[in-house]
Amino acid sequence: MTLFFYLFAALALIGGIGVVAYRNPVTSAFSMIVSFLGIAALFILLNAYLVGILQILVYAGAIMVLFLFIIMLLDVKEEQGKTYPVIAITGASVVVIGFLSLVVTALKRSQVGSIGLPRLSDAEGAPTDVQEIGIRLFSEYWFPVQVVGLLLLTATVGVVVLSQKELR
Amino acid sequence: MDTAITLNHYLYFSGALFAIGLAGVLIRRNLIVIFMCLELMLSAAAITLVAFSRFHPENGQPDYDGHVFLFFIITVAAAEVAVGLAIIVALFRARETTDVSRIDSMKF
């Protein structure tokens, strides 16, 4: 359990660093897929099977294919220039170090995160997470589901309008 | 030494992944890569949701409300990526570039 956590966390972090470090956008996109696979494995490690599978299907599958398709459609070249501007590196380091120290300080001060992994009941015939999430989606959360459906419809229409040759 | 995984492990990991995405957004100049880093930050935040739902069980089951929340986040992210990439394509048609340092005027 501990070993798998470190393994997949390292996989996701290395993939994330690859996204930022590689200059070629196609390589960045493939690093992103590695990162998403690591995150999905962590979800499954946390007993979130449905969400882990959705992460692979939607993120590593659909969304990254869309990204790769657009990268190849636009024929994006590697970024020109040897280095990034010093001001960008400095600014990014300051913001990132500030954010990380904020996270570390907040977690050190509070007791929120110091709990260990609680045991789950392993009774026979207990509903699976797919059943539980499905029941919640169609009872307690029926209104957000409708709103999300409307959102997807709006996004579809919006993308078609945006993709026209001549925007009016 | 206590090597058991606590909630803090997941929160630190999520913070680190978010920081990597943030660095990418600030450093990179390619619009598509910046957009991918945004997705990375969104996923990093999603990990905290699942971790909290697993570490605060109800009746021996994970708190599935967090999973439902993540379900909606993934849906919204899919719509967001489609619209964002359509905007990038429209921008590329107008300006022939995806380099943010060369997209510096509001009016074409």
ipTM: 0.90
**Of A113, A13, A138, which is closest to residue B23 (Cα–Cα)?**
A13
What is the C-alpha to C-alpha distance for residues A71 and A79, in angstroms, rounded to an integer? Answer: 13
Q: Which residue in the set A46, A92, A159 is minimally distant from B51, CB to CB?
A: A46
Give the C-alpha distances (Å, rounded to integers) separating A56 from A1, A50, A63, B105: 21, 10, 10, 38
Contact A20 B61 (CB under 8 A): no
Beta carbons of A79 and B28 less than 8 Å apart? yes
Q: Enter the pTM of the model.
A: 0.90
**Per-residue pLDDT tens listing for chain A (168 residues):** 789 999 999 999 999 999 998 888 999 999 999 999 999 999 999 989 999 999 999 998 899 999 999 999 888 777 666 567 788 889 899 999 999 999 999 998 988 877 888 887 777 777 888 998 999 999 999 999 999 999 999 999 999 998 887 765
Nearest partner of A37 among A20, A18, A15, judged by Cα:
A15
Spatial CA neighbour of B72 closest among B42, B98, B31? B42
**Residue B93 to residues A64, A73, A105: CA-CA distances in angstroms?**
22, 11, 46
* Cross-chain residue pair B89–A73, CB shorter than 8 Å: yes
For B7-102, which CATH class?
A: mainly alpha
Measured in angstroms, the CA of B37 and the nearest CA of chain A are apart by 7
Task: Search chain A and give the residue with CA nearest B3.
Answer: A2
The answer to whether residue A87 neighbours chain B at the CB level (below 8 Å) is no
CA distance B92 to B38: 19
